[in-house]
Amino acid sequence: MQRRGSAHRRNVRFCLALGMISAIAVGLSACAGNGEGLDQNGRPDEGGAAPLTATFASIQQNVFTPICTQCHVGAQAPVGLRLDADSSYAMLVNTPSGEVPALRRVQPGNPEASYLVQKIEGTAAVGSRMPLNNPALPQSTIDVIKQWIANGAPRDSETGVAPKLTIQGISPLADEVLAATPGQILLQASSELDTTRLTTQNITLVRSGGDGMFDDGNESVVPVLGIDVRSTQPTVFALSLASDQTVADDYRLTISGTSAAPVMDLSGRMLNADVTEPFGQDFVMQFKVQGAR
């Protein structure tokens, strides 16, 4: 009986070892040159993302988030281009390129004129092919991105109606500390705004007067020269600033939800209003510019 028990235990250990070897072999074959176990971008397939399609949500999930945000994220993102899910649409669509301002990063309806496409195809006149220091995107992935742009580069990831109309600072972010004065402020609404109400009379930018306080009477108004609406669904817009009057200081941007003609969306919802607060509220964002005055 003891001999048979020992032999049985040896057989169990052998079968377990054989199973481990088989599992390793399967894993190696999945990473082999046959492409099994890899996603459409040539990276290990973790099974979480849906197949890549020509929609913004799918491109964000399969390309921008896992690949591009290895570099393009946070305050130090190259050329100020952040490609995280909260920022990427506003930073791409109808936004001038930081390297070649005459070109839009994404020109809806025109993939070949879109600087994003030129960068990922390696045909841009400035800089290196993206993603930098990593394998180029497969042509099939590039073709999907080009198809999304050819379709008009819609923002189609939203489902239903946002619970309330809000505005978000994209560049700079709220409370961000900047090394230099911004030439513009980029913002994104949660839905499509009534842009007839989006005027310089409803937008105020002030600096604190050097003390970081905004209610002691020494504030200075920074002129907003213009409003550039870059997309409508949702509304993305940029405020052009008078840079020669923008100095190192604390800044506060206010967009009115409480004036006689408050900012609203096309359904008539006032800014920051909801069922518990039926009246509009102002959007307020502060940021800081450092440097010699």
Q: How many CB atoms lie within 10 A of CB 14?
A: 10
Q: Is residue 13 part of a domain?
A: no
- Asked if 260 and 188 sit in the same domain, the reply is yes
What is the per-residue pLDDT for 49? Answer: 62
Q: Say if residue 197 is in the same domain as residue 260.
A: yes
Per-residue pLDDT in tens (0 to 9) along the chain, 293 residues: 444 444 444 443 434 343 433 333 333 333 344 545 555 555 555 555 689 999 999 999 999 999 999 999 998 899 999 999 999 999 999 999 999 999 999 999 999 999 999 999 999 999 999 999 999 999 999 999 999 999 999 987 555 556 789 999 999 999 999 988 888 999 999 999 999 999 999 999 999 999 999 989 999 999 999 999 999 989 999 999 976 656 899 999 999 999 988 999 998 999 988 767 778 999 999 999 986 44
Q: Do 237 and 203 fall into the same domain?
A: yes
Q: In terms of residue numbers, what domain contains 64?
A: 56-150
Residue where a domain stops, chosen among 92, 121, 150: 150
Residue 181 located in a structural domain? yes
**Residue 286, beta-bridge partner list:** 252
Residues 6+ away with beta carbon under 8 Å from 101: none
Residues 221 and 285 in one domain: yes
Quick check: is 254 in a domain?
A: yes
Do 106 and 179 fall within a single domain? no
Do both 272 and 176 map to the same domain? Answer: yes
**Same domain, yes or no: 125 and 70:** yes
Residue 224 lies in a domain: yes
Are residue 96 and residue 135 in the same domain, yes or no?
Answer: yes
Indicate if 176 and 209 belong to the same structural domain: yes
User: What CATH number does residue 191 fall under?
Assistant: 2.60.40.1220
Are both 195 and 99 inside the same structural domain? no
Instruction: Say if residue 143 is in the same domain as residue 181.
Output: no
- Number of domains forming the structure of the chain: 2
